[in-house]
Amino acid sequence: MRSRRSISDIVAVVLLIVIAIAAAVIIYMWLSGLIGSVHSGTSATQVKLEITGARVTEAIGTTASGSKYGNYTVYTTVYNPPDSPTVSLTVGELLFTNGSMLCSVPGTLAGAPTVAPGQALPIYFNCTGPATLPGTPLEVILVTSQGVQVSYATSVS
């Protein structure tokens, strides 16, 4: 009877040690992530970028197999309020209003890829996707280097 009780004591001690180590690792990971975000220059919560207008034009083309595609040119006006940091635009996307992707342009966008505080700039990008009809409602999305997404509802003209 004595040996059985000592085994459960050993199991209890081992479990407490494992729980303590797991808690220490979780606290360390949380603190290192928190400290890393405090020391970064620009946080995503500081970015207040706005799209003040957008226009989408489409030129329809046909592939060799006869299927139609659209060459889209997206013109936007972006405003960065004076209390927001300078931002770089890295991705431009064109989505249907149901959220499905029409086309996307990764990398630095044409026009002015960085927008200073208090500045309004025209930004444009070109992409290719399935052909749509004029008047089709779309959503223009721009993504900053901080991961902030700004969107604007418009339609194909």
Residue 38, classed as helix, strand or coil, is helix
Q: Note the pLDDT tens digit of each residue in 115-145.
A: 889 999 888 888 888 888 888 899 998 888 8
Segments in the chain forming alpha helices (H): 2-39
Nearest one of 69, 75, 39, 44 to 57, comparing CA atoms = 75
Q: Note the pLDDT tens digit of each residue in 56-110.
A: 988 888 878 888 888 888 899 999 898 888 888 888 888 888 888 888 887 666 6
Domain 44-155 adopts which CATH fold? Answer: Immunoglobulin-like (2.60.40)
> At residue 33, does pLDDT exceed 80?
no
Domain ranges of the chain: 1-40, 44-155
